[in-house]
């Protein structure tokens, strides 16, 4: 139908309308063209203003053109196209990114003409709101159905658009359709069949619906108040664009329902608030709800304040006034914790106990209403699950909001919020990121490990988080494992020595420091044997080793995998997390059993034999890997001794299933009470009942110079000098140094996985200093060419920084898209630089990399591990500000065929043995067997008198002497006793350690 005919019809229709309706239509703003498709908007893409196509593969984008049509609803041309989409495809009009966004807020909606094919297919129409540009904006979607023939004008009011939950290119801006910063629209065409379409005249129409741009909100969903106090609920009018409202807004309110009793617990209120036309956005009114004094002890009681709004959007939920619990023994901080726990437990219902045993993901609970509905005991942030913006203030505000929700429960039991802060507060942008555990193991410095724990705890607690899922006490026995870097090393004695980090996190073993604002509850993970899984045993997706099977004798289990947990329990660890992996103990007849199902290990060994008094938290959805249906998963894990279940998105099912299993007698009430008692004990120790909200007084220290100084020292001490022919290192600042390699100037690569996101990522995503920047800041004369393509003439030395890109558990397994080989680009950079000049190669990685026959052409080789955000620490040892003192925490193999290879193996012929680490210290001891004999006698004497410090120093002198003698002549006969010596040192057998080193010396 021609546009002129439509206009005539519209005029006739207007004449037939009542006068008021016609007048209303006359008040509407004139339609605002968006696209006329006459050629005024080109086919182009960001940052230009233009129309472009897209699709899931090369065949899916539609073919578009501007075609002349006699029946065009507007003008002479229309947008037409053909498509054959297998996945998804469509087209977009993005407005120019170098000009201001458009303001659509004066209009009711968007309309356009569509040439119908009557195919019954749904077509999605999307608009782009807020953000930096069309491709970094919030997406809001609506749709229409092509169930007509010929031209039809499609009208979509802005009120019909819904926020997309399946995809957002920037993860969401503010979840509000503001309409004041619009960046364009997109059309998604039907998939699965060939088709064609025609479209014309996209424009904005009508007068804005005030309820779209005006809303009424309250200052909080929950308003706790002591008995006798007056709750003040602030009601605020807000508008998009901060424009005054055109029409009045009324808010009728009344107290009604809830668990409180009117006249006994509070004085009921009722009335109406009015925001007249012209009221400015941000205007507030206050509703007061007086409560009555009550001397009798009582749990918390709720008073819903029901609001009925006219002329604006109402609040998403009814605000609750809560009369705080009072007078009950568990609230008395002077009572012993065990009495407080017993009192509270005696009052709780089964549903409330089930809630305490449940942990949900923050993203699953939305605004948090389910916290009270399900009486949830805990929330977590999975890797990369962060507030927007990702700042300390936003973290504290988010967690305080969740804690506020818990105040509306009967007993106001606070949440315990947990994160994986495995090498600093690694979810927080700008936090201090430490070397991963393998690097800390290389430092052989328990005091430094404790200091890193102190910094981590202080930064985590300052954002309102009282619980850290760290440290990982795995003993990594195969470097093909994608979590190898989370281990302090392959020797349980080394892992045990570094468990000082627990005191850094928690404070004193008796738990008395947990309530401090710079301490957190720590978690020993993953119990037990996760580092011993056999390559190829994983049954999880494409993983090759993670979550696989650990097959050991009872003695191997005790000596290697359980030993670190015994130490952790002695150090007062507050929580323990079982492993995803399975345990197969040779000869016990059970076969491979998932650790979350092994009651003999969790109840029997951990809790009963070791005397662990904290609580056991499952891993992420780990119970879903157990045999049977969901009820069997719950029953098996709880009866095995798991106290709290991490069920991120299925918490509703878990709580109801747990209660059903108890009612059916398949889980005993005694077991439930034990689990809840353990959880409540830690909550009381953390001081959460007295101080549930964030104490942000320490937030200013997050990422501070003092904290970064600890990380810098850790990075320096973690550097392991494997080879140093001709004393290439340390460099002199007067030398001209050529720097190359993929990891020289990449903060993401040097921080590794579990940094801002679960798997981590290359590039700059937080604050820190790369190794290259550190060298420059040290005053070095440095030229950088990432791929070594710049001329190499005229340099005194080269530094090639190579290695891995980030990964984490499972995804990072060798054979799952990863290998132990350097990339082709890294190999080329090493070859070019080392052929042209004296060179040092730094390997930034979470595990040893195979360097094959390149070692002969490399003058100096450094295992840099994953040093964290402080690249200056690496520069410190490169330029001699600090000496190289690190030692290998794992064996460095010659080839992948040798794996697994570990200290203590009968057949042991590595490239570099466990414990190896050259030094640039001056005054390295010299001598031969006579010197070693004297050192051995002195070490034995130190051992007898219990002088650990002297014993360690004597063994270190012997090690340095032996390393000088071995040089590049490492053999099987020397490697095995050399590695054994370090294990003996860590277990306090200093005399025997020197004997082993003497054996290695003689074998050269």
Report, as residue numbers or ranges, the catalytic residues.
619, 809
Q: Tell me whether the omega of the peptide bond preceding residue 526 falls within 30 degrees of 0, making it cis.
A: yes
Distances (CA, A) of 838 to 739, 741, 773, 774, 859: 12, 15, 21, 21, 6
Gyration radius (Cα) of the chain, Å: 33
Contact 813, 784 (CB under 8 A): no
Q: Given CA atoms 234, 238, 243, 247 in this order, what sign does their dihedral have?
A: negative
Strands ordered across the beta sheet of 797-803: 720-724, 860-865, 839-844, 797-803, 736-740, 781-784
Provide the total of helices (H) and of strands (E) in the chain, helices listed first: 26, 37
Sheet hosting strand 320-323, strand order edge to edge: 222-225, 320-323, 301-310, 249-255, 270-275
For 213, the 3-state DSSP assignment is helix
- Distance between CA atoms of 243 and 265, rounded to whole angstroms? 41
Question: Hey, what are 864's tokens?
Answer: 């840099």
- Rounded Cα distance between 69 and 402, Å, is 58
Strands (E), 96-247: 107-117, 121-133, 136-146, 149-157, 162-163, 182-188, 194-207, 214-218, 222-225, 230-239
Residue at token pair 């299925």:
650
> Can you read off the two tokens belonging to residue 747?
């903060």
Tokens at residue 267, please? 């004085």
CB–CB of 51/93 below 8 Å? yes
Cα(494)–Cα(487) distance, rounded to whole angstroms?
Answer: 10
Q: How far apart are the C-alpha atoms of 933 and 767, rounded to whole Å?
A: 50
Which residues neighbour 15 within 8 Å (Cβ) at sequence distance 6 or greater?
Answer: 22
**Three-state SS at 863:** strand
How far apart are alpha carbons 481 and 474 in whole angstroms? 11
Distance CA 200, CA 628 (A): 57
Report the run of H or E that residue 53 belongs to, with start and end. strand 50-55
């Amino acid at each position: 139908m021609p546009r002129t005919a439509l206009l005539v019809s519209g005029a006739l229709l207007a004449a037939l309308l009542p006068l008021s309706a016609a007048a209303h239509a006359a008040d509407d703003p004139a339609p605002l063209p968006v696209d006329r498709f006459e050629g005024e908007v080109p086919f182009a893409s960001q940052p230009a203003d233009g129309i472009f196509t897209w699709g899931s593969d090369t065949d899916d984008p539609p073919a578009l053109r501007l075609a002349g049509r006699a029946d065009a609803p507007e003008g002479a041309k229309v947008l037409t196209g053909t498509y054959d989409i297998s996945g998804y495809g469509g087209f977009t009009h993005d407005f120019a990114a170098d000009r201001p966004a458009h303001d659509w807020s004066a209009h009711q909606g968007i309309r356009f003409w569509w040439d119908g094919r009557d195919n019954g297919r749904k077509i999605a129409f999307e608009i782009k709101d807020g953000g930096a540009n069309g491709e970094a904006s919030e997406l809001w979607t609506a749709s229409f159905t092509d169930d007509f023939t010929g031209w039809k004008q499609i009208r979509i009011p802005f009120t019909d658009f819904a926020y997309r939950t399946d995809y957002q290119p920037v993860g969401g801006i503010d979840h509000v359709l503001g309409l004041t910063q619009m960046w364009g629209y997109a059309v998604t065409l039907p998939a699965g069949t060939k088709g064609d379409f025609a479209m014309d005249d996209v424009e904005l129409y009508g007068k804005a619906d005030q309820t779209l741009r005006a809303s009424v909100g309250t200052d909080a969903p929950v308003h706790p108040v002591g008995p006798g106090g007056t709750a003040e609920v602030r009601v605020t009018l807000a508008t998009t664009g901060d424009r005054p409202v055109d029409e009045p807004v009324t808010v009728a309110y009344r107290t009604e329902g809830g668990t409180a009793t009117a006249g006994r617990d509070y004085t009921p209120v009722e009335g109406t608030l009015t925001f007249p036309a012209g009221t400015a956005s941000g205007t507030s009114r206050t509703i007061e709800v007086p409560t009555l004094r009550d001397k009798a002890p009582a749990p918390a009681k709720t008073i819903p304040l029901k609001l009925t709004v006219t002329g604006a959007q109402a609040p998403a939920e009814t605000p609750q006034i809560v009369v705080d619990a009072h007078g009950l023994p568990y609230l008395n901080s002077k009572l012993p914790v065990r009495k407080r726990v017993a009192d509270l437990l005696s009052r709780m219902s089964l549903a409330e106990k089930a809630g305490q045993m449940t942990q949900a993901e923050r993203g699953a609970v939305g605004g948090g209403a389910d916290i009270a509905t399900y009486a949830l005991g805990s929330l977590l942030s999975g890797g990369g699950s962060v507030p927007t913006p990702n700042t300390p203030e936003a973290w504290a505000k988010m967690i305080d909001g969740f804690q506020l929700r818990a105040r509306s429960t009967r007993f106001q039991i606070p949440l315990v919020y947990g994160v994986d802060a495995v090498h600093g507060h690694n979810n927080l942008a700008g936090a201090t990121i430490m070397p991963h555990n393998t690097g800390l193991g290389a430092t052989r410095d328990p005091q430094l490990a404790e200091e890193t724990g102190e910094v981590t705890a202080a930064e985590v607690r300052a954002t309102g988080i009282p619980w850290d899922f760290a440290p990982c006490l795995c003993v990594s026995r195969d470097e093909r494992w994608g979590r190898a870097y989370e281990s302090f090393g392959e020797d349980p004695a080394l892992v045990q020595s570094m468990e000082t980090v627990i005191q850094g996190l928690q404070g004193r073993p008796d738990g008395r420091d947990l309530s401090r604002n710079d301490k957190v509850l720590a978690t020993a993970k993953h119990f037990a044997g996760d580092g011993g899984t056999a390559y190829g045993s994983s049954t999880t997706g494409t993983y090759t080793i993670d979550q696989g099977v650990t097959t050991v004798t009872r003695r191997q289990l005790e000596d290697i995998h359980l030993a670190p947990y015994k130490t952790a329990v002695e150090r007062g660890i507050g929580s323990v997390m079982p492993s995803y992996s399975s345990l197969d103990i040779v000869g016990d007849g059970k076969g491979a059993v998932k650790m979350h199902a092994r009651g003999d290990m969790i109840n029997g060994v951990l809790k009963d034999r070791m005397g662990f008094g904290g609580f056991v938290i499952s891993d992420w959805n780990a119970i879903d890997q157990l045999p049977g249906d969901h009820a069997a998963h719950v029953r098996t894990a709880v009866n095995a001794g798991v106290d709290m279940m991490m069920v991120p998105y299925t918490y509703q099912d878990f709580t109801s299933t747990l209660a059903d299993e108890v009612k059916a007698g398949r889980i005993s009430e005694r077991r439930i009470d034990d689990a809840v008692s353990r959880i409540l004990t830690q909550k009381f120790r953390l001081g959460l009942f007295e101080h549930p909200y964030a104490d942000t007084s320490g937030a200013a220290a997050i990422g501070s110079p003092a904290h970064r100084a600890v990380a810098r020292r850790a990075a320096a001490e973690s550097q392991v000098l494997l080879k140093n022919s001709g004393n290439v290192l340390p460099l002199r600042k007067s030398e001209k140094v050529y720097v190359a390699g993929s990891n020289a100037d990449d903060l993401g690569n040097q921080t590794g996985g579990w940094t801002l996101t679960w798997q981590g990522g290359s590039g700059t995503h937080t604050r820190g200093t790369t190794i290259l920047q550190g060298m420059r800041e040290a005053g070095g004369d440095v030229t950088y060419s990432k791929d070594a393509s710049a001329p190499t003439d005229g340099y005194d030395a080269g530094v090639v920084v190579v290695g891995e890109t980030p990964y984490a558990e499972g995804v990072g397994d060798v054979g799952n898209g990863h290998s132990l080989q350097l990339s082709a680009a890294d190999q080329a950079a090493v070859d070019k630089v080392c052929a042209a000049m004296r060179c040092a190669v730094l390997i930034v990685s979470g595990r040893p990399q195979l360097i094959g026959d390149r070692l002969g052409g490399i003058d100096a080789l450094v295992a840099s591990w994953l040093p964290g955000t402080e690249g200056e620490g690496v520069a410190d040892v490169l330029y001699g500000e600090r000496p190289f003192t690190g030692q290998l925490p794992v064996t460095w193999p010659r080839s992948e065929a040798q794996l697994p290879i570990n200290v203590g193996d009968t057949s042991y012929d590595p490239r570099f043995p466990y414990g190896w680490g050259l030094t640039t210290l001056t005054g390295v001891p010299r001598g031969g067997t006579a010197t070693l004999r004297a050192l051995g006698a002195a070490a034995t004497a130190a051992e007898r008198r219990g002088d650990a410090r002297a014993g360690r120093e004597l063994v270190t002198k012997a090690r340095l002497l032996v390393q000088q003698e071995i040089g590049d002549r490492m053999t099987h006969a020397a490697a095995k006793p050399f590695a054994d010596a370090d294990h003996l040192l860590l277990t306090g057998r200093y005399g025997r350690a020197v004997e082993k080193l003497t054996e290695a010396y003689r074998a050269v």
